[in-house]
Amino acid sequence: MQHRNRKNLDEPLGLVLKRYTVMISERRNIPIYVANIVFLFFGLAVLIWLKTRFDKDLNTAIDTTRGLFSREEVLKSPDDVRIRFSQIEHLARQNKNIYIKDMVVSKILISGDEVAVYPFYLSATTPDWKQRLLSKGWRRILLTSNGIPYGAIYLQLNYALLNGIKFAILSFALLLIVSLVVLLLRLYRQEEVITATTIALNEKNQELMRLERLALAGQLTANIFHDIKKPILNLKHAFADILERKQEMSPSEIKQNVENMNQQVGLFFSILNELGIERFVRASNEENEFVDLNDLVERSCNLVRYEQRHIKVVKELADNLPAIFVNPYKLIQLFSNIILNAYQAMEGKGELRIRTSRNNDNLVVEITDTGPGIKPEHLRYLFTPFFSTKDSSEAAGLGLYICKNIVDELGGEISVDSVVGKGTTFRIQLPPPQQLKPSKATTKQ
C-alpha cells in the first residue's frame, strides 16, 4: 500500500464511509456549477449575437447612406459644378441615427480636387479637413459613376454601444474561463479524494472480509470441541495407561496402545481436515482456481454443520454445471454466512433448501429457509454495514454486507425475497464463467 493512502487505512470503516458519502453529496453540487457555466455560455452567445447584429445594422446604415448620395442629381457629375446644398443638408441630417453621429459630404471635381459641400464652410475654415477626419477614425466612402469618382462621404460612426457589447463579451468570457477553471479544479480535487477514499474503502472491505472469516471460524470452533473432545480424551487415557503400566506392559501391548493413539490422532486431524477451517481462515485473497459450484455448496454446509442441529437440509444441486475460476474461500464465506444466518433464524428446527441451477448462461444459487422471515422495513437495510436485527453483542452487522461485496466483486447479483412467518430466500446469480471477474487481491503492506 502506498504511503499516501496509509492515513485512509488507519481510519475506522465508519469514518471512511462517512467521508465517502460526504464527497458523493458534494459531487451532487456539480450540476449547479454546470448550470452556471451554461448560463455564462448562453449570455456570451447572446452578446456575440448582439455584436453580429450591431455590425450588420451598421453596415446597413452605411449602405443606406451611400445609396442616398449615389444619385447623380444630388452631387451631379464631376464636370457639373451645380450643387444642391439644401438637398444635401436635408439628406445628411435625415440620415443621422444611432449608428452615424456625424457626416461630411464632399464633391470631387474633374480636376481631381475634393471640396467639402456639407458642411459648406468646412473647406474654407479647415483647409486640411480631409486629413483631420481620417486621422480621427472617420470612414471614407467613395461615390463613383461608371468607374469615375464624383464625390465622397465621411462618416463618424457611433461605436459606444459596440464597445459596451465588446466589454460585456470580454467580461463574460473571463467569468466563463474562471468558472471553468474553478470547476475543473474542484472536480480534480474531488476525484482525487474519492479515488483515494475508494482505494481505502476497498482495502477496508478486504480486511473486513478476512476479519469476518476469522469471526465465523471462531464462532464455529466452540461447537467443534464436541467432536474433537473424544479423540483427545482417548489420547489422554492412552498416555496415562502407558505411564502407569510401562513396567508391566509387554512390547505388544505398548505397540497396540501406540497404534490406538495414532488412530486417535488421525481421527482428530480427519475432523479438522474435513471441516477445512484452517484453510478457510488462512486462505489468501489471491488464490483463484477452477472450482465446482456444487462442491463449494457442500463445503459451506459442512463448515457450519454444528449449527444445524435438528434442521432438515434439502439439496437440489444441478448436474453438469461449468467450473468457475474464482477464490473458492470467498464463495464458501458467502454461502456459509447465509446458511449460518438461516440456521440461527430457525433456532434448530425447520427446513433449509439449497438449489443450484443455470439461468441462461448464469449460475444461480438459491438458499431458502422456513424461519420467521424478515420485516419489510428491514429489507432495504439488509446489506448496509453495521445493520443487524440481532443484539449488538451477538452480531456486528457486517456478514451480509460482506456477502454483497463478494458478489459485486465477481460481477454478480444478490437478492432477497422474504415473507414474515414463512421464510426467506437468498438468490445469488453469478455471470457466465467466461465473464466472471476474478477475485481481487488484497494489497499487501
Q: How far apart are CA 214 and CA 280, in angstroms?
A: 9
Q: Into how many domains does the chain fold?
A: 1
- Residue 120: what pLDDT? 82
Tell whether the model's pLDDT for residue 264 goes beyond 70: no
Min mean pLDDT across 180-194, 197-211, 266-280, 381-395 is at: 266-280
CB atoms within 10 A of CB 89: 15
Grid coordinates belonging to 386? 453495521
Partners of 142 in the beta sheet?
Answer: 152
Grid coordinates belonging to 25? 453529496
Count Cα atoms within 13 angstroms, Cβ side, for 285: 19
- Residue 277: what pLDDT? 55
Full domain range(s) for residue 368:
283-430
Give the CATH number of the domain where residue 358 resides. Answer: 3.30.565.10
Specify the higher pLDDT residue, 191 or 279: 191
Q: How far apart are CA 129 and CA 131, in angstroms?
A: 6
67 is a domain residue = no
Tell whether the model's pLDDT for residue 173 goes beyond 90: no
192 is a domain residue = no
32 is a domain residue = no
Tell whether the model's pLDDT for residue 78 goes beyond 60: no
Min mean pLDDT across 17-31, 167-181, 304-318, 340-354 is at: 17-31
- Residue 22: what pLDDT? 54
Give yes or no for a contact between 50 and 214, defined as CB atoms under 8 angstroms apart.
no
The overall pTM is greater than 0.85: no
> For strand 289-291 and strand 324-326, is the pairing parallel, antiparallel, or unpaired?
antiparallel
SS3 for 369?
Answer: strand
Specify the higher pLDDT residue, 253 or 427: 427
Q: How far apart are CA 135 and CA 124, in angstroms?
A: 19
Backbone torsions φ then ψ of 202, nearest 5 degrees: -65, -40
308 is a domain residue = yes
405 is a domain residue = yes
Q: How far apart are CA 280 and CA 278, in angstroms?
A: 5
Give the rounded distance of the alpha carbon of 280 from its chain centre: 34
- Residue 265: what pLDDT? 73
Q: How far apart are CA 56 and CA 50, in angstroms?
A: 10
CB atoms within 10 A of CB 328: 24
Grid coordinates belonging to 24? 458523493
393 is a domain residue = yes
* SS3 assignment for 281-345: HHCCCCCCEEECHHHHHHHHHHHCHHHCCCCEEEEEECCCCCCEEECHHHHHHHHHHHHHHHHHH
CA 81-82-87 angle, to 5 degrees, is 135
pLDDT averaged over the chain? Answer: 76
Grid coordinates belonging to 49? 449575437
233 is a domain residue = no
324 is a domain residue = yes
Residue with cell 469615375: 148
Grid coordinates belonging to 21? 458519502
pLDDT band at 90 (very low <50, low <70, confident <90, very high): confident
CA 162-163-169 angle, to 5 degrees, is 90
Tell whether the model's pLDDT for residue 373 goes beyond 70: yes
Tell whether the model's pLDDT for residue 57 goes beyond 50: yes
Q: How far apart are CA 122 and CA 118, in angstroms?
A: 7
